Amino acid sequence: MITAKTALRRQNKAQRIERVGKLARGKFVSPDKVPEILRRIIEPGDILCLEGDNQKQADFLANQLATLENKDLRDIHLVMSCITLPAHIELFKKGMIKQVDFCYAGPQGGAVADLVKAKKFPVGAIHTYNELYARYYIDLTPRVALIAAAQADRKGNLFLAANTEETPAIVEPTAFSDGIVFAQVNEIVDKLPRIDIPADQVDLVVQAPYPMHLQALFTRDPAAITDVQVLMAMVALRGIYEKYEVQSLNHGVGFNTAAIELLLPTYGERLGLKGKICKYWMVNPLPTLIPAIESGWVESVFAVGGEVGMERYTAARSDVFFTGRDGSFHSNRAMGQLAGHYAIDMFIGASLQIDINGNSSTVSKNRITGFGGAPNMGCQPTGRRHPTKAWLKAGAEANPGPGSPPGRKLVVQMVETFQAGRVPTFVEELDATDPSIRKALHGVTPVMIYGDDVTHVVTEEGIANLAACRSIAERQAAIRAVAGYTPVGLKRKKRETEDLRARGIVQLPEDVGVRPSEASRSLLATQDIKGLVRWSNGLYDPPSQFVDW
Amino acid sequence: MEKFAKAFPSKPLPSKTAKPWALAGVVGSGNLEVLVERGGRPTDTMQCHVETSIPGYKASWLAALADFAHHYPAGGTKVTINDQGAPPVLVNLRLRQAYDHLTKGDK
């Protein structure tokens, strides 16, 4: 029955907007009024969403929020993808936050670990991106969302430009539940190139005095790729891409996969793999993918976010990238993660630590980072039903039982056995199992990719096919076999390794037809950023920190 | 600085190799040089000399060399390694590259 009570939430929103009063002209507010407006529209106990992932940040609104004090703002349930700005940490230090639910803490990982130790970080859970977006529609629906857009028009329609990212995933649940959507924009214009968020889902708009923060996260300088990474890339190409005919895929942000991208037009071409592999990508517009695109390898690329400097190139290659009618690049984090979950043959990425069961983590006692999106893609989607060659082949190898899906996504961890500073990548037990971390996370160990989901581990020593292992003991032996000369690797037994190699579960570079003497940087399609600019016909504009000419 | 030498059992080299000796890598900071020569005696051991600027990793070096001698027929070779703090992951690659050059030539 519809009563006055059912309209309470809508009334409450109206009251909040009313409190803003003359501080706004229609939807538009001036930057200096923002702290006071935030004080008036946010109530104690609110679920407050701050937009910000690992690339794009509503940093002006976050900075204004952090100027408030505990008396202005308290008992806030903060929900946000990425805790990346000093302003975010400030909210905790000031004691405004009663609970936080998030995904990733990248550059603030050290500060988060300190807050945990000081018991000032009341965390609900660390999520993966789509998991958190999903909860925005269930039990974490924001009352107020502070978001970022490139442009607004006079009605409050928003243009999100290349970095659409997670804005729609925040705005929809907020706007359709009588929440308040407050957008910072870089500029206000008469006519937008395209409308990404309609004005009737936007309550307040401020033109920020500085443009929103964008992080160039996926730019890898080919000059920093090593011979060892070239070797691993060759091994992965032959032992996995070629073997399974991987057509659709996601690459992580590391140099290992950048090496693969740069080998496609050279080594890959020589192997006759063009048109057979790497046609459909769910990945951000990686500058290191330019040579492969220009050589005709790539059919399409859908992205969770943009990449600084790739705007003109992606507009020119709208036959490959998803773009608006105006030609400008389009991304969508939630849909991209969904695509990476269900619709790709392979996820391949790196990690800081892998244990003997194949679990990986980027969390240590002194740095609590979290997950981001990798686990959405680096997992077995048991809701998948459509077959592809790679999926069926990997599935058959895993010898599925009568109650299992016939196929498997390839989930590949590609790591060097040691990190910088001779720190072993392979460990008996993850740092993430530390009791204080587990306690802060209500008993959950923050595992990035679970060993059960991993099909292959690639190191400079070779490939371990975990999916083909028939027991936990065998999986551990396979991991030790490729763990090199780390303490985990030194514990391997010669006979076990030989048995696994004879069965093709462990493969050395020469077992997959790779000649180590060829593993050299000279095999890359280009050796530096300047070369990427050349490949793009001058359309790639690298961020200044990557320009040395 | 640390220096050590050890011989490892290994199946004899193929009777014909492309070259009498081969070199991989360079002596430079964060890199290493591996020289592999044929003509060592006896023909069922791989004789190794290691000189490294970073002490304390002898066990890892010996394990890597033992594995190499086990995987590849390298008996009758002399392996001389000059290391200037190369990352551990590079050692095996340079060994394999030098061996590959020795047995199959540079191309």
pLDDT surpasses 90 at A197: yes
Give per-residue pLDDT as tens, A296-341. 999 999 999 999 999 999 999 999 999 998 889 999 999 999 999 9
Q: Do B93 and A227 touch (CB under 8 A)?
A: yes
B7 by DSSP, 3-state: which?
Answer: strand
pTM assigned to the model: 0.95
Q: Which residue of A has its CA nearest to B72?
A: A510
pLDDT at B101: 95
State the sign of the Cα–Cα–Cα–Cα dihedral A273, A275, A278, A284. positive
Give per-residue pLDDT as tens, A62-96. 999 999 999 999 999 999 999 999 999 999 999 99
pLDDT surpasses 90 at A55: no
Q: For residues A199 and A146, is the Cβ–Cβ distance under 8 A?
A: no
pLDDT at A218: 86
- The CA R_g of chain A, rounded to the nearest whole Å, is 24
β-pair type (A56-57, A213-214)? antiparallel
Distance from C-alpha of B64 to C-alpha of B81, rounded to nearest angstrom: 12
3-class secondary structure per residue, A287-305? HHHHHHHHCCCCCEEECCC
DSSP state of A406: S
DSSP element (H, E) containing A231? helix A227-236
pLDDT surpasses 70 at A264: yes
In sequence order, the 6+-apart residues with CB closer than 8 A to the CB of A430 are A353, A355, A359, A360, A361, A363, A445, A447
Bridge partner list, A24: A29
Among A520, A501, A519, which residue's Cα sits nearest to residue A511? A501
pLDDT at A53: 86
pLDDT band at A364 (very low <50, low <70, confident <90, very high): confident
Percent of chain A with pLDDT over 70: 99
β-pair type (A418-419, A423-424)? antiparallel
Nearest to A460 among B24, B59, B89 (CB): B89
Nearest Cα of chain A lies from the Cα of B96 at a distance, in angstroms, of 6
Cis peptide before B42 (omega within 30 of 0): yes
What is the pLDDT of chain A when averaged over all its residues? 95
Give per-residue pLDDT as tens, A476-526. 999 999 999 999 999 999 999 999 999 999 999 999 999 999 999 999 999
Question: Any CB–CB contact under 8 A between A228 and chain B?
Answer: yes
Q: Do A519 and B93 touch (CB under 8 A)?
A: yes
**Average pLDDT in the A148-164 region?**
96
In sequence order, the 6+-apart residues with CB closer than 8 A to the CB of B86 are B25, B30, B31, B32, B94
In sequence order, the 6+-apart residues with CB closer than 8 A to the CB of A357 are A451, A472, A475, A476, A479
CATH code for A226-530? 3.40.1080.10
Distance from C-alpha of A525 to C-alpha of A259, rounded to nearest angstrom: 9
Which residue do the tokens 């992080």 mark? A215
Q: Which segments of chain B are extended strands (E)? A: 2-9, 21-24, 32-38, 45-52, 77-83
Among A44, A160, A154, A169, which residue's Cα sits nearest to residue A103? A169
Residue A481, CB-side half-sphere exposure with 13 Å CA sphere: 30
Give per-residue pLDDT as tens, A211-246. 998 888 889 999 999 999 999 999 999 999 999 999
Backbone torsions φ then ψ of A410, nearest 5 degrees: -80, 120
Among B20, B29, B32, B39, which residue's Cα sits nearest to residue B65? B32
Q: For residues B31 and B84, is the Cβ–Cβ distance under 8 A?
A: yes
- The CA R_g of chain B, rounded to the nearest whole Å, is 13
Annotated domain spans of chain A: 17-214, 226-530
**Average pLDDT in the A261-280 region?**
98
Q: Please identify among residues 15-44 of chain B the ones whose CB lies closer than 8 Å to any CB of chain A.
A: 24
Among A276, A273, A203, A218, which residue's Cα sits nearest to residue A20? A203
Q: Please identify among residues 45-104 of chain B the ones whose CB lies closer than 8 Å to any CB of chain A.
A: 59-60, 63-64, 70-71, 87-93, 96-97, 100-101, 104
Among B3, B63, B86, which residue's Cα sits nearest to residue A485? B63
Give per-residue pLDDT as tens, A12-31. 999 999 999 999 999 999 99
Distance from C-alpha of A266 to C-alpha of A262, rounded to nearest angstrom: 8
Give per-residue pLDDT as tens, A393-426. 999 999 878 999 999 999 999 999 999 889 999 9
Q: Do B89 and A416 touch (CB under 8 A)?
A: yes
Backbone torsions φ then ψ of A320, nearest 5 degrees: -110, -45
Q: For residues A52 and A59, is the Cβ–Cβ distance under 8 A?
A: yes
* Tokens found for residue A119: 């018991």
Give per-residue pLDDT as tens, B1-21. 899 999 999 999 998 999 999
- From the number of C-beta atoms within 10 Å of its C-beta (0-12, 13-18, 19+), residue A117 rates as middle
Q: Please state, in angstroms and as integers, the Cα–Cα distance from residue A148 to each residue in A22, A30, A181, A333, B90, following that order.
A: 23, 15, 10, 14, 45
pLDDT surpasses 80 at A345: yes
pLDDT band at A44 (very low <50, low <70, confident <90, very high): very high
In sequence order, the 6+-apart residues with CB closer than 8 A to the CB of A135 are A79, A101, A127
In sequence order, the 6+-apart residues with CB closer than 8 A to the CB of A197 are A149, A157, A158, A160, A167, A168, A171, A183
pLDDT band at A4 (very low <50, low <70, confident <90, very high): low
Distance from C-alpha of A262 to C-alpha of B57, rounded to nearest angstrom: 34
pLDDT band at A361 (very low <50, low <70, confident <90, very high): very high
Range of the structural domain that residue B39 is part of: 2-104
Question: Any CB–CB contact under 8 A between A210 and chain B?
Answer: no
- Residues in B closer than 8 angstroms to A519, CB to CB, are 93, 97
Question: Any idea which fold A17-214 has?
Answer: Glutaconate Coenzyme A-transferase (3.40.1080)
Give per-residue pLDDT as tens, B31-87. 999 999 998 889 999 999 999 999 999 999 999 999 999 999 999 999 999 999 999
Q: For residues A345 and A244, is the Cβ–Cβ distance under 8 A?
A: yes
**Number of domains chain B contains:** 1
pLDDT surpasses 70 at A181: yes
A183, amino acid identity: A
Q: Do B90 and A228 touch (CB under 8 A)?
A: yes
pLDDT band at B107 (very low <50, low <70, confident <90, very high): low
Q: Do A490 and B97 touch (CB under 8 A)?
A: no
